[in-house]
Amino acid sequence: MIETLETRVGELVSGSPVATFVIDSEHHVRYWNRACELMLGILADEIVGTSDQWRPFYPERRPVMADLVASGCIEMLIPTYYPDKYRPSKSIPGSYEAEDFFPHLGQGGMWLHFTAAPIRDEHGCVIGAIETLQDITERKEAERRLQELLDEQRVIFDNAHVGIAYIQDRVILRCNPRMAEIFGYDSAQDLVGRKTAMLYASARDWRENGIRLYHRLEAQGFSEDEVLLQRRDGRPIWCYRVGRPLDPQQPHGGSIWVYSDINAQKRQQHQLELASTVFENSGEALMMCDADNRIISVNSAFVRITGYAPAEVIGQSPSLLKSGRHDAAFYRRMWETLLVENRWEGEIWDRRKNGEIYPKRLSISVVRDEAGRVAHFVGAFSDVTRRKQAEERVQFLARHDALTGLPNRTLLRERFAQAAEHARHTGRHLALLFLDLDHFKRVNDSLGHPVGDALLVAVADRLRHALYGTDMISRLGGDEFVILLEHVPCPEDVVTVARKIEACMDAPVEIDGQVLSVGGSIGVAIYPGDGSDFDTLLQKADTAMYHSKECGRGTFSYFDEKMNAKAAERLVMHSRLRQALGRDEFSLVYQPQVNMRTGRIFGAEALLRWTPRDGEPVGPSRFIPVAEESGLILPIGEWVIHEAFRQARRWRDAGLSMQVSINVSGLQIYRSDLIATLAAAQRDTGVPPRMIEVELTESTLVEDVHAAHEVLDALKRAGYGLAIDDFGTGYSSLAYLKRFPLNKLKIDRSFVTDVCSNAEDRAIARAIIQIARSLNLRVVAEGVETVEQAALLRRHGCHEGQGYLFGRPMAAQDLDGLLEARASGTGPALAPG
């Protein structure tokens, strides 16, 4: 057996440089070649024939190999005992191989590769084993270094702060965890095997990006861009993307892509761009200076405000903007505050490039570095010229009227206080002249507030011109003006100023093609006789002004204590008038109108009467002016119209053809819809318009010729008769008369009373009749009281008469009786014989 084993070994390993040894079935070393001696340092003489053949390798282990060989179970037991080292050999069937590290061999240990194969006799029985040894220390070291490199690369790959993906045909074959993190996936495996389309907001974006990217890979061997992609949750994400193909000739065959999350940088870039945009487009001028206070940047608002182009100021000191209005101490305090508090803010005067000095609101901030040193100064300022002007305007308007520019009540009060103090020491008088325009409300109501405002401005200009050199002209509001006169030697001296005011009001004013008459009533109060304080004196001047209006307007009056009583009476009457309509205290009486030729009663004038429940009747001359001043004439006038229509209906139902004349106030012409009121009364009663005659005073018509003409035209078209009452007491202008579609002129009673005895009155009456005849108008004489008056007027061609001769104003039922008496022939003759 031994000879057979040795023979076999000789045949197998004769002259082999490979370290080889042989053991028999009893664990004895039968062969140990020179290569083993050199490799392991043990001579053959020391180990051949012994049974501890594993001692050079595993000195501490039990030598089991011989047992395995002897048992014939080497194929089964070696993997069991050495599962981590021995494995079936791929090169020698039926044999095993292993690798192991032996720290006690060589210098610093040695890696050996074992191969073990059984030796069999001719009968196939295992008689021993042959093993070969190979020093693989260098290979193992190379593998270790390679593995360390691979491990290092794996660590880098897995822990890179950028996303890395290996992509083939636009499918992710491999990627690192950061790639998944960037796009919001739980792990890299969520991306592996999926198309990159999931990284895009739409399939179109994916296709277009693919065409562009792979074209770059083919054309230049790489691709580099910033791209807006999409996270798993749909949120957009900006990435910096770089890709290179593994084979430039086949970009789709595989490429490595690196993705960097630049969302933060994009936000910063956007903020910087936004800051730059804000800087450039700020409404405030912005200027940045370096630590040496030299300008390094300005924005467009700076250029617009200062007039300097950037190139003209960059590198310069801001001191080139100085106006010269501030002294060195001002700038020294500014710098002290700025360097201590890192901020200064205030108003300062600077100079533009064109030399203009202007105010600005300036704030300066200090920007310091980490060490606390000054890095920059940032100045922001705005031109406050308009604000300053607005403040001055506000201050002006606090004491002046916005429309006319005249001093207002506040400034007038202050000026009066100063003047009164001076007057107390000098013994002189002061005077307040209260001017109120006549019928101004009608202008506003008929032509509108713009025309009214223009009229007030014109009046203010006239007053300035007429009273140039007087102490103060002020406007209290509306159409009320007050003139303060200082240094008045005696009260009578005020007359000169009042006459000047009257004179400047004489000529009409033309505004936007409208010719408006201007009149005013003036009240005068004297300091200290009429009062020693402003409010008292102003109230008394106001009272005197109302007295002027009662006296016929267009004049002036000194205050008298009796006026206070009248003013009080007027206030009481105003209050009682407000209640009169609701308490049914008004009534109408009718004065007959006759044909002067036939004596027939053809109509009656409706006249308003007021009998308070708790008092005596109040005459029209007392309450009508109060009603007009307060505006109550509008509801009262509307009641008159409806009541007159109702009476006309009763006469018509009785078979009487009676024309009813209704007096209309100027307020009803200019401040109410007179046409609509008449139309409503006509609808309610069914009275035809030809039975109604509208009477207006001459002064009413000339207040606003254009507006009056429109109203009268409408009345004429509707079928109403039109008459001018009290003709001859106003302008009596043919130019006005021919413009209006009138039917009648009524000669005022003041010309009729003495028509028989006074040649002038007779001439006036005759002239009015001739004017009416030339204009094809009928004439009515008012106030006819005697047969002689009636006869004279009839001879001169007067058509109609009205007066006590024909009948006093009477209740409707009384007039009915008179009409019945005339119809039966028992009444008095109404026509002169």
**pLDDT band for position 509 (cuts 50, 70, 90):** confident
Rounded Cα gap, residues 652 and 648, in angstroms: 6
Looking at residue 62, its pLDDT comes to 44
Mean predicted lDDT score pLDDT of the chain? 84
Looking at residue 721, its pLDDT comes to 93
Q: Pick the closest to residue 802 from 661, 592, 588, 600 (CA basis).
A: 592
Task: Tell me the residue ranges of DSSP E strands in 305-373.
Answer: 343-351, 357-368
**pLDDT band for position 68 (cuts 50, 70, 90):** very low
Looking at residue 196, its pLDDT comes to 92
Residue 595 pLDDT exceeds 90: yes
In contact, 317 and 293? CB cutoff 8 Å:
yes
Among residues of the chain, what percentage have pLDDT more than 90?
A: 36
Phi and psi at residue 511, in whole multiples of 5°? -135, 120
435-481 pLDDT, tens digit per residue, is: 998 878 777 766 788 888 999 999 999 888 888 776 789 999 888 99
Q: Pick the closest to residue 338 from 298, 368, 306, 370 (CA basis).
A: 368
Mean pLDDT of 728-742: 68
In contact, 810 and 591? CB cutoff 8 Å:
yes
Q: Pick the closest to residue 694 from 719, 673, 672 (CA basis).
A: 719
With a CB cutoff of 8 Å and minimum separation 6, the contacts of 225 are: 240, 241
Looking at residue 15, its pLDDT comes to 61
Helix (H) or strand (E) run with residue 423 in it: helix 409-426
Mean pLDDT of 554-567: 68
Burial label, 524 (beta-carbon count in 10 A; 0-12, 13-18, 19+): buried
DSSP code string of 218-267 = HHHS-EEEEEEEE-TTS-EEEEEEEEEESSTT-GGG-EEEEEEE-HHHHH
How does 118-157 read in b/e, with b if 16+ C-beta sit within 10 Å? bbeeeeeebbbbbbbbbbbbeebeeeeeeeeeeeeeeeee
Q: Pick the closest to residue 552 from 712, 723, 760, 697 (CA basis).
A: 697
pTM of the complete model: 0.45
With a CB cutoff of 8 Å and minimum separation 6, the contacts of 702 are: 517, 708, 730, 731, 733, 736
For residues 614 and 462, the model is more confident at 462
Residue 736 pLDDT exceeds 80: no
* Domains (range + CATH), the chain: 2-137 (3.30.450.20), 160-267 (3.30.450.20), 282-388 (3.30.450.20), 400-559 (3.30.70.270), 576-824 (3.20.20.450)
Residue 505 pLDDT exceeds 90: no
Residue 786 tokens, joined? 């005697």
Q: How far is CA 209 from the centre of its chain?
A: 45
Strand partners, 29: 23
Looking at residue 679, its pLDDT comes to 92
Looking at residue 268, its pLDDT comes to 81
Neighbours of 107 (CB within 10 A): 6
Looking at residue 23, its pLDDT comes to 86
Looking at residue 72, its pLDDT comes to 46
| Coil vs helix vs strand at 729 | coil
**pLDDT band for position 87 (cuts 50, 70, 90):** low
Residue 175 pLDDT exceeds 60: yes
Q: Pick the closest to residue 718 from 696, 736, 685, 693 (CA basis).
A: 693
For residues 829 and 703, the model is more confident at 703
For residues 598 and 155, the model is more confident at 598
Lowest mean pLDDT among 137-151, 384-398, 496-510, 586-600: 137-151
In contact, 346 and 330? CB cutoff 8 Å:
no
Looking at residue 779, its pLDDT comes to 93
For residues 549 and 236, the model is more confident at 236
For residues 701 and 214, the model is more confident at 214
Mean pLDDT of 335-362: 92
Looking at residue 70, its pLDDT comes to 46
Residue 645 tokens, joined? 């229509």
Cis peptide before 528 (omega within 30 of 0): yes
Looking at residue 499, its pLDDT comes to 84
Q: What share of the chain is helix, strand, coil (3-state, %, to 5)?
A: 45, 25, 30
